[in-house]
């Protein structure tokens, strides 16, 4: 029997990226308490959160594969997750203005027998931004469901001077690596 993939995510971007790769899957959102995390190291954090999300989905069959991920923005010693309000969004974008930051995405792929966890990093440089530009941006919907308060795939694209690494790591799922790793779990394009 062919293996079946479950995407343990409520992120519309992760769903779209798997669809773009012609990989068949179903969605089951993980429900975890991210505030329970204690580590402040960005790599440990995205790994742990991806593991919690993936382990929240029960596996009942030998042919079930679960994919989960977590994305954060890291600048100097600070981790930026999703902004809770306008003030936090402004603070995040103002801090990232004119600077280079890292985006980390942790991924877990698991079956009953096996587990693979990895982290991808992409470096992003922002142009120096004016206060007017930042204020205009945070009054849109764009920043609020995204780590670091910007969407590189949407309006936030105008802030990005250059990147080093996989663009899709920033969007929330390093899809080329994920496709390769999924093959080892017997998940391939239709
Ligand atoms: C930096 C950046 C992040 N993001 C998104 C990717 C992630 O969906 C989100 C970070 O939140 P996550 O907690 O990684 O994911 P999620 O809550 O959206 O979905 P789930 O936990 O159910 O899988 O930020 C962008 O879409 N564009 C960007 O440029």
Residue 14 CA to its chain's centroid (Å): 8
Q: In ligand 1, which atom is closest to the CA atom of 73?
A: 1
List beta partners, residue 78. 75
Q: For residue 65, is it within any domain?
A: yes
Each residue's pLDDT tens digit, 8-66: 999 999 999 999 999 999 999 999 999 999 999 999 999 999 999 999 999 999 999 99
Name the nearest CA neighbour of 169 among 71, 58, 63, 29.
71
Q: For residue 190, is it within any domain?
A: no
Q: In ligand 1, which atom is closest to the CA atom of 103?
A: 1
Active site residue 142: no
Q: For residue 125, is it within any domain?
A: yes
Q: For residue 188, is it within any domain?
A: no
The ipTM assigned to this model is 0.98
Q: For residue 62, is it within any domain?
A: yes
Residues 6+ apart with CB under 8 A from 117: 47, 50, 51, 106, 107, 108
Q: For residue 105, is it within any domain?
A: yes
Residues 92, 185: Cα–Cα separation, whole Å? 38
Residue nearest to atom 9 of ligand 1 (CA): 146
Q: Which of 33, 44, 70, 166 is catalytic?
A: 70
pLDDT at 61: 96
* Distance between Cα 56 and ligand 1 center (Å): 18
C-alpha distances out from residue 43 to 52, 105, 133, 136, Å: 14, 8, 31, 32
Each residue's pLDDT tens digit, 126-161: 999 999 999 999 999 999 999 999 999 999 999 999
Q: For residue 60, is it within any domain?
A: yes
Tally the domains of the chain: 1
* Distance between Cα 171 and ligand 1 center (Å): 7
* Distance between Cα 1 and ligand 1 center (Å): 33
CATH number at residue 61: 3.90.950.10
pLDDT at 1 over 90: no
Q: For residue 189, is it within any domain?
A: no
Q: Which residues does a 6 A CB cutoff place in the pocket of ligand 1?
A: 9-11, 13-14, 29, 53, 69-71, 73, 82, 103, 146-148, 150-153, 156, 170-172
pTM metric for this prediction: 0.98
Residues 17, 170: Cα–Cα separation, whole Å? 12
Write out the residue range of the structural domain in which residue 110 sits. Answer: 4-183
Whole-number mean pLDDT of the chain?
97
């Amino acid at each position: 029997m062919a293996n079946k993939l479950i995407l343990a995510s409520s992120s519309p971007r992760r769903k779209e990226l798997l669809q773009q790769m012609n990989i068949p899957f179903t969605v089951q959102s993980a429900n975890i308490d991210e505030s329970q995390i204690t580590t402040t190291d960005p790599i440990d954090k995205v790994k742990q959160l991806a593991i919690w999300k993936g382990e929240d989905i029960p596996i009942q069959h030998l042919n079930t594969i679960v994919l989960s991920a977590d994305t954060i923005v890291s600048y100097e010693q600070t981790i930026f997750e999703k902004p809770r309000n306008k003030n936090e969004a402004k603070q995040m974008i103002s801090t990232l203005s004119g600077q280079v930051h890292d985006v980390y995405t942790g991924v877990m792929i698991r079956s009953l027998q096996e587990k693979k966890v990895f982290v991808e990093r992409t470096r992003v440089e922002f142009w120096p931004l004016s206060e007017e530009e930042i204020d205009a941006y945070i009054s849109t919907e764009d920043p609020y469901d995204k780590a670091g308060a910007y969407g590189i795939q949407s309006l936030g694209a105008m802030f990005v001077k250059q990147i080093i690494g996989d663009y899709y790591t920033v969007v929330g799922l390093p899809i080329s690596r994920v496709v390769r790793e999924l093959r080892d779990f017997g998940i391939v394009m239709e």
